[in-house]
């Protein structure tokens, strides 16, 4: 009887959460596309009573996998909704405020679920090892990759690319594509997937747009993996541009042009891997020791990785997307495994399942 009661309660809670999150994501999409502030997480998602109900469902082995995505969402949202975190995050992005924000997140993690600090929350939410090392740091970005020239128009081809890639796995590839200043995918509902791309005519704009194509494919397939695995699919999709045969049909260019663009994309991929390693290592250390001169620590780490650029402010991702850098770093290696599975004939769902739920 207890198991049945838990399942019935989860049915009810899941329906309520789906409606609340869909409304939130629609408001967030509107803020990105039409301008305005991102709405706060719904109270239902962040309140302690919701976490208690989800925790009860997690205790039942038959419900654990089903409830896991909701638990991760509720846990992350509760930390960000903590008044001290919200107050620190609302300040202008600055080095002097980053340590205070990290300390606030550490304290919120202890209040929300008795975690030792935010790093434990991030590991659970993102699906990464708590003490995972960032691999592939290598030598850094220098001053960039030189002049690449203008690329073909991007935004108008995204929907076609999604449909073509989805067709290979026999899934519905219909999405909405909008152009705004950032790249993001919104899963408002099972049949309402919205991609926002910058629409630029650059290699970075194309790789960022294809990254969102990967997120859309995960949603279209009805999958809800941990963040690291979701990012792995997005990374794999972005890296299709580094293959001349793939670049040719996606960009709509000649074979020679595709080969040149693929070489540029490969250089961008190498830079992204180094950046992911640096950011993951720095963010890991940030939550271990949020005090001190963080700007000096960042620039020392960047210099050691071969970077020559200086940062007047911390990278925005450290401020607005906490804990995600380890997921991006893990995604680099997971994307290679995903590609091998897909090349061997696995379907998308099968290949994603093969990556597991912990990087």
Distance between terminal CA atoms of the chain? 36
Whole-angstrom distance, CA of residue 48 vs CA of residue 54: 10
DSSP string, 227-245: HHHHHHHHHHHHGGGGSHH
Report how far apart, in Å, the C-alpha atoms of 21 and of each of 11, 56, 186, 269 are.
Answer: 15, 21, 11, 33
Beta-strand ranges (E) seen in the chain are 176-179, 184-189, 192-197
Q: Is the pLDDT of residue 138 over 80?
A: no
pLDDT of residue 160: 97
| Pair 177, 155: CB distance under 8 Å | yes
Closest CA to 317 of 329, 303, 301, 305: 329
Q: Is the pLDDT of residue 136 over 50?
A: no
Q: What is the pLDDT of residues 179-200, one digit of tens each?
A: 999 999 999 999 999 999 998 8
Q: Thinking of the domain 155-354, which architecture would CATH place it in?
A: Orthogonal Bundle (1.10)
Q: Is the pLDDT of residue 144 over 50?
A: no
Q: Is the pLDDT of residue 324 over 80?
A: yes
Q: Taking the CA atoms of the chain, what radius of gyration do you get in angstroms?
A: 21
Q: What is the pLDDT of residues 18-64, one digit of tens each?
A: 999 999 999 999 999 999 999 999 999 999 999 999 999 999 999 99
| Pair 131, 329: CB distance under 8 Å | no
pLDDT of residue 142: 41
DSSP string, 287-335: HH---S-HHHHHHHHHHHTTB----SS--HHHHHSTTHHHHHHHHHHHH
Say which DSSP state 174 is in.
Answer: -
Closest CA to 348 of 128, 166, 174: 166
pLDDT of residue 266: 96
Q: Quick check: helix, strand or coil at residue 178?
A: strand
Dihedral of CA atoms 191, 155, 352, 348 in degrees, nearest 10, equals 70
- 323 Cβ contact partners less than 8 Å away, ≥ 6 residues apart: 76, 118, 119, 121, 122, 123, 125, 126, 283
Longest dimension (CA), the chain: 67
Token representation of residue 79: 């930390």
- What is the total residue count of the chain? 359
Whole-angstrom distance, CA of residue 112 vs CA of residue 125: 14
Q: Is the pLDDT of residue 143 over 50?
A: no
Band of the pLDDT at 141, cuts 50, 70, 90?
very low
Q: Which residues, in sequence order, are bridge partners of residue 307?
A: 142
Q: What are the helix (H) ranges across 35-82?
A: 43-46, 48-58, 64-81
Q: What is the pLDDT of residues 198-232, one digit of tens each?
A: 988 999 999 999 999 999 999 999 999 999 999 99
Token representation of residue 279: 């950011």
pTM of the model: 0.93
Percentage of the chain surpassing pLDDT 70? 95
| Pair 217, 233: CB distance under 8 Å | yes
- 13 Cβ contact partners less than 8 Å away, ≥ 6 residues apart: 50, 53, 54, 57, 70
CATH 1.10.1370.30 in the chain, residues?
Answer: 155-354
Token representation of residue 220: 């279209």
């Amino acid at each position: 009887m207890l198991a049945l009661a838990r399942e019935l309660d989860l049915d009810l809670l899941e329906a309520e959460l789906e409606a609340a999150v869909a409304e939130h994501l629609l408001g967030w999409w509107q803020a990105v596309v039409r301008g305005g502030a991102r709405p706060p997480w719904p109270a239902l998602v962040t309140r302690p009573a919701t976490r208690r109900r989800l925790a009860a469902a997690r205790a039942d082995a038959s419900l654990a996998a089903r409830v896991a995505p909701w638990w991760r969402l509720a846990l992350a949202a509760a930390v960000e909704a903590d008044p001290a975190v919200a107050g620190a995050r609302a300040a202008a992005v600055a080095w002097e405020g980053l340590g205070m924000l990290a300390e606030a997140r550490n304290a919120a993690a202890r209040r929300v679920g008795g975690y030792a600090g935010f790093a434990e929350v991030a590991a659970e939410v993102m699906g990464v090892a708590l003490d995972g090392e960032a691999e592939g740091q290598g030598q850094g970005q220098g001053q960039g990759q030189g002049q690449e020239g203008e690329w073909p128009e991007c935004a108008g081809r995204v929907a076609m690319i999604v449909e073509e890639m989805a067709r290979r796995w026999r899934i519905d590839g219909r999405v909405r594509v909008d152009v705004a200043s950032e790249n993001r995918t919104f899963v408002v509902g099972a049949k309402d997937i919205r991609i926002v791309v910058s629409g630029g005519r650059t290699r970075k704009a194309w790789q960022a747009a294809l990254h969102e194509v990967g997120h859309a494919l995960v949603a279209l397939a009805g999958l809800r993996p941990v963040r690291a695995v979701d990012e792995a699919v997005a990374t794999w999709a972005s890296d299709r541009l580094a293959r001349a045969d793939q670049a040719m049909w996606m960009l709509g260019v000649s074979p020679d042009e595709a080969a040149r663009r693929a070489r540029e994309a490969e250089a961008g991929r190498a830079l992204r891997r180094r950046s992911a390693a640096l950011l993951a290592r720095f963010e890991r250390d940030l939550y271990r020791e949020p005090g001190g001169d963080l700007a000096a620590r960042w620039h020392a780490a960047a210099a050691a990785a071969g970077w020559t650029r200086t940062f007047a402010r911390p990278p925005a991702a450290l401020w607005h997307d906490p804990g995600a850098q380890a997921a991006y770093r893990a995604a680099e290696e997971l994307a290679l495994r995903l590609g091998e599975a897909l090349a061997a004939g696995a379907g998308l769902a099968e290949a994603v399942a093969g990556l597991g739920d912990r990087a």
